[in-house]
Structures are given as C-alpha cells and as structure tokens.
Amino acid sequence: MKIHSLVLVPVMLGVFDSGAWACSFCQGDTSGSRMGAAADWGIIAMVIIMFFMLGAIGAFMYYLAYRAKHPLPDYNELLREGEEHLHTQPKAL
C-alpha cells in the first residue's frame, strides 16, 4: 500500500502540474490590493466567530456539568412549598 502511494503521488504531480496554475492572490501576492485587505478581514471575522461559537459550546458544557452537580429540587416538593406559603396568614402590623 505504501509503495503504491510513493509511486502514485509523483506520477500525479507530474501529470497534473501544468493545469494547477493559481492566480496571484492564491499564490500570496496581494501587496496593497483591496482583495487582499478583504481576505484579511474575512479571516479575522471567521476566527472571531469561531471563538464565540467555541465559547458558547464551552459555556453550555459548563452549565450541564453544574446542573449535574446541583440538580433542581423535586417538582412536587416545590409545589408543597408554594402551598405552605399560600396558607399562612400575614402578620398584622
């Protein structure tokens, strides 16, 4: 398997090398062009969005871990507490 890859990669590079010419932007020659500045801002925006999304996923995982360690009380227990407060008389002034 490895021998096939070692032989196949150089052959493919030799056969298809002439059809893979890239523009000057793809080659990295963007000195002073508006296209280069737009690409830079696009990359920065994507990195910021990625960090916000990863932060949101991390915050959600933290919330799930916190809820696992501190579960909410039983629903029926909460109902009983609410009924106790309804049946008590307010204190007179």
Q: How much is the pLDDT for 58?
A: 97
Chunked mean pLDDT (size 10), the chain, 93 residues:
73 65 60 75 94 97 94 78 64 61
The pTM (predicted TM-score) of the whole model is: 0.48
Tokens at 54, concatenated = 């990863």
DSSP string covering 18-48, please?
A: TT----HHHHT--TT-HHHHHHHHHHHHHHH
Q: How much is the pLDDT for 4?
A: 74
